[in-house]
Amino acid sequence: TELGAEIAERIKAFGNSIDFQEIQPDELTALGQLRAEEIDLVVTIPPEPAEIIRAGESAVVKVTHNQLDPFEQATIALLSRSAIDTVNRSILEELVIQGQKESSTVEILLADAGTTASLLKDARATGNVAEEQRLRAQLSDQVAGVNTASESVRGAMRTLERLTGQSRSETSGQLVNAVEGSGTGTDDEASIEELETELEEARASLAEFRSIPAQVLVSPFESSTTVTDAPPLAITDFYAPGAMVLLLQHLAITFAALSFVRERALGTPELFTVSPIRPIEVLIGKYIGFFLVSIVIGASLSALMFWGLRIPFEGSLAAYAAVLVMLLVVSLGIGFVISAAVGSDIQAVNIAMIILLLSLFFSGFFISIDRLQPGVRAVSWGLPATHAIDSLRDVMFRGAGIDTRTLLALLTGIAGTFAVAWRLTSRRLAPH
């Protein structure tokens, strides 16, 4: 139908979010293309939308797709509602424009009625009874014309009154009754003057109704969002700090987790037991060696992120480096605890992978921590990556410093993992 084709054209011109392909008259053919993955979604417009609307029901535009990803499903649902809102708004704008055009006829009738009311008052003042009766009859006819013509714009006028918050309903909503009451037998001159005032106010209200753009009447409110203390970010910008934190944490944990395991396979701990070197010196030496390797990797990744990927940086380089240093040290501590506790390199690698998976899903990298259950948040805040990701985003994008929570969490993690690693290493290297 004509209306259906118009809706299709409006959806077609919705924007870059919908890559329109074609109008297919057969729904089954379009659904077959969807199943064959030739297209991503099918928008089905009812065959007779105008008849459905006249029957007092909403014409449902169906959107069919084959996406499994919940995020994609939510995006399509949101986009569909937005597209239909755009269609509804454009149709309402056309209706308001039509009402504004018709309101000019009502305004002319109101002006004529106002003139007649003024002449009626003059006729009463001069005592011209015949002229007064003629004007009363004329005013009654004009009232009937106002009553008929104003039906098409009363709804829009009531909408205007709600939007502006002005109490004009006494004039626009009850104008006809007031005119009829004053023009068909009322001899009070004050009533005629009141009628003149009401007619003039009604004309002013109609003039204001026509002066406001149809787009504003249909959509009187708009939303505007502003992000404070942060530059506009692309998706890759937002996820870059988290990706680097996860990579550095996993590398540091894996390096450290395999250190003692490999040495035990080679028999190196037996040499330590007969040498003058103490367990804490062995542990500190490993910390220094693996830290130097990890910091070189971290510096290389940072250079690639800032100069290669052009990730914005608004904060202090010292704060950025301090977060990375604390992350690497606590990650090495976790790795040394794993290495001293497990019996094989396979176990060490598996535990390191489990920590990576926990960090991937519960550190706020993919899903905001605020969306997690309270019990899961306890796991999240126990991961070094959670604090490092949160702090790096603030440092890089907000220009903030290291918050106290991050500082305490990472320093506590460093001290705790070092103490446990020292204890386990001393036990491993103790002479039997």
How confident is the model over 36-56, as a mean pLDDT?
81
Q: What one-character DSSP code corresponds to residue 58?
A: P
At 323, the pLDDT band (50, 70, 90 cuts) reads: very high
Q: Give residue limits of the domains in the chain.
A: 2-66, 99-218, 235-429
Token match 């329109």: residue?
A: 20
Q: Is the pLDDT of residue 101 over 80?
A: no
| Residue 187 CB neighbours (<10 A) | 8
Residue for token digits 């530059």? 231
How buried is residue 283: exposed, middle or buried, by Cβ count under 10 Å (0-12/13-18/19+)?
buried
Model pTM above 0.85: no
Of residues 17, 19, 57, 55, the one with CA closest to residue 38: 19
Residues 233-243: what's their mean pLDDT? 89
CATH number belonging to domain 99-218: 1.20.120
Q: Percent of the chain scored above 70 by pLDDT?
A: 69
Q: How confident is the model at residue 377, as a pLDDT?
A: 87
Chain length of the chain = 432
Confidence of residue 223 (pLDDT cuts 50, 70, 90): low
Residue scoring higher pLDDT (186 or 26):
26
Are 430 and 273 a contacting pair, CB within 8 Å?
A: yes
The tens digit of pLDDT for each residue in 248-257 reads 999 999 999 9
pLDDT band at 88 (very low <50, low <70, confident <90, very high): confident
